[in-house]
Amino acid sequence: MTDEEEHPVPDWEEVARRHGRFLYTVAYRLSGNHDDAQDLTQEVLLRVRRGLETYRPGSMEGWLSRITTNLFLDEVRRRRRRPVDLLPPDPDQVLPAAQGADQALAAEVLPEEVQAALDRLPDEFRAAVVLCDVAGLSYEEIGEATGVPLGTVRSRIHRGRALLRAALA
């Protein structure tokens, strides 16, 4: 069996149809608005078209998430949408004063409120939380997608969740 027969090249239109909803959801949760999500999804699909020749079977959603995150973070750095002086000097200062205090989250939390809290996270924390809890990637896959070690992935996810907790309490 030739390599082509073992690994048929996926048709990119089929990829767009089958994974488009997942792709758009991740793009929207990362960027927080439809305009940016559409631009990001469009760029990802263009990249997918070019990359399909070299794609090898594995986790299609992991591969798509990696492309989406790379493009999202590239765009963030290019646009500088979060000027440095608007970031808290130390995000840990937003954590509850008493370590481990069980902040009772509001009983009814709307998706819009969760997305608004996500939008306020530093971009690297938001990417880690979205890739873990929206895209469903493992820590290892998130590390590969963002180019950081596992310890950093774990730290970003936990600090991102702590900031969400504080924002939604």
Partner 1 sequence: MSAPPPPGPHLGDRLSALVDAELDPAGEAAARSHLAACDACAGELASTARVRELVRGLPAVEPPSPLDQARTGRRAGVAGVAAAVAAAVALVLMAGVNADRPDNPPVARLVEVHATSVVNADPLSQLAPAAVPVSMR
| Between 89 and 100, CB nearer to partner 1 | 100
- Does residue 31 interact with partner 1 by CB under 8 A? no
- Does residue 122 interact with partner 1 by CB under 8 A? no
| Between 1 and 125, CB nearer to partner 1 | 125
Tokens of 143: 């590390």
| Between 1 and 99, CB nearer to partner 1 | 99
| Between 88 and 151, CB nearer to partner 1 | 151
Assess contact for 73 and 127: CB atoms under 8 A.
yes
Angle at 120 between CA 106 and CA 123, to 5 degrees: 130
> How far is residue 153's CA from residue 139's CA, in Å, rounded to a whole number?
6
Q: Which of 7, 34, 81, 82 binds partner 1 (CB under 8 A)?
A: 34
> How far is residue 126's CA from residue 104's CA, in Å, rounded to a whole number?
22
Contact positions with partner 1 (CB under 8 A) in 59-88: 63, 66-67, 70, 73-74
Neighbours of 140 (CB within 10 A): 11
Q: How many residues sit in the footprint of partner 1 (CB under 8 A)?
A: 70
> How far is residue 130's CA from residue 128's CA, in Å, rounded to a whole number?
6
- Does residue 131 interact with partner 1 by CB under 8 A? no
Q: Which of 7, 9, 18, 92 binds partner 1 (CB under 8 A)?
A: 18
Assess contact for 28 and 34: CB atoms under 8 A.
yes
Taking the chain, what is the end-to-end CA distance rounded to the nearest angstrom? 58
Q: Which residues lie near partner 1 (CB under 8 A)?
A: 13, 16-25, 28-29, 34-35, 37-39, 41-42, 45-51, 54-55, 63, 66-67, 70, 73-74, 98-103, 105, 109, 111, 114-115, 118, 124, 129-130, 132-134, 138-139, 144-148, 154-155, 157-159, 161-162, 164-165, 168
